[in-house]
Amino acid sequence: METEYKTVSGYAEASFIEKKSEFIGQICHVENSDQAVEFINSVKAKHRKARHNVYAYITRDGNTSRYSDDGEPQGTGGVPVLDVLRKEGLTDVCVVVTRYFGGILLGGGGLVRAYSHACKIAIDEAEKKLMCRCSRFEIGCDYALYGRLSYLMPEFEAKTVREDFADDVRLTVLVKDSFCDGFRAKLTDASNGKADIKEEKCLWEDFS
């Protein structure tokens, strides 16, 4: 079973000029083919005067991947963009590379390099997310136990979401699936079973 995957948050873009042609790499988080197509169409509408809007996307939903050369010679646009996404290990993403033709032909190899580069610089601009399958623990405890828990957190790579301090302490932490059993056992042992523990399982949260 898949326990983690890499994606991006929101939208980012970057551009460069190659032999008078402008290449604009645009990347967006999508979660299914419908969202990918919506993003592609929005880019095409924005860049109506561009010669090409090459794209590729990968989604976890249906384990889907698609690409288009959008009029460039076969294999010189969409495939290089898709290859970069795969090499970066990204999913739930769509990239559109817009080309404003500058009048100078780049040749097959030149196009592959240009579209690959446009995709890569867009990825570099994007905020990355490492999504992990996890549980959310809501913990109520006294201050003495809170002190002990502070030492437990790093051992289990727990991510603290919220801390409320009043008469007692209320904590919200995320723990990856692979650490949940051990964390739960240590937590129960450290509190002698007295801590108020609620667990919500089978979540996907950002651990980047």
Question: What is the C-alpha radius of gyration for the chain, rounded to an integer number of angstroms?
Answer: 23
Local confidence band at 193 (pLDDT 50, 70, 90 cut-offs)? confident
Residue 204 has what DSSP assignment?
E
Mean pLDDT across the chain: 94
Q: What are phi and psi of 28, to 5 degrees?
A: -145, 145
Q: Is the confidence at residue 112, as pLDDT, over 90?
A: yes
Q: What are phi and psi of 205, to 5 degrees?
A: -135, 160
State pLDDT tens for residues 121-177: 999 999 999 999 999 999 998 888 888 888 888 999 999 999 999 888 999 999 999
State pLDDT tens for residues 12-34: 999 999 999 999 999 999 999 99
Read off the pLDDT of each residue in 64-76 and give the average, rounded to a whole number.
Answer: 96
CA angle 15, 19, 20 (to 5 degrees): 70
- Structural domains present in the chain: 4-125 (3.30.230.30), 133-206 (3.30.70.240)
pLDDT score recorded for residue 17: 96
pLDDT score recorded for residue 51: 93
More confident residue, 103 or 96: 96
pLDDT score recorded for residue 85: 98
Does an H or E element contain 92, and which? none
pLDDT score recorded for residue 101: 94
pLDDT score recorded for residue 148: 82
Q: Is the confidence at residue 206, as pLDDT, over 90?
A: yes
Read off the pLDDT of each residue in 69-87 and give the average, rounded to a whole number.
Answer: 96
- Judge contact between 146 and 171, C-beta under 8 A: yes
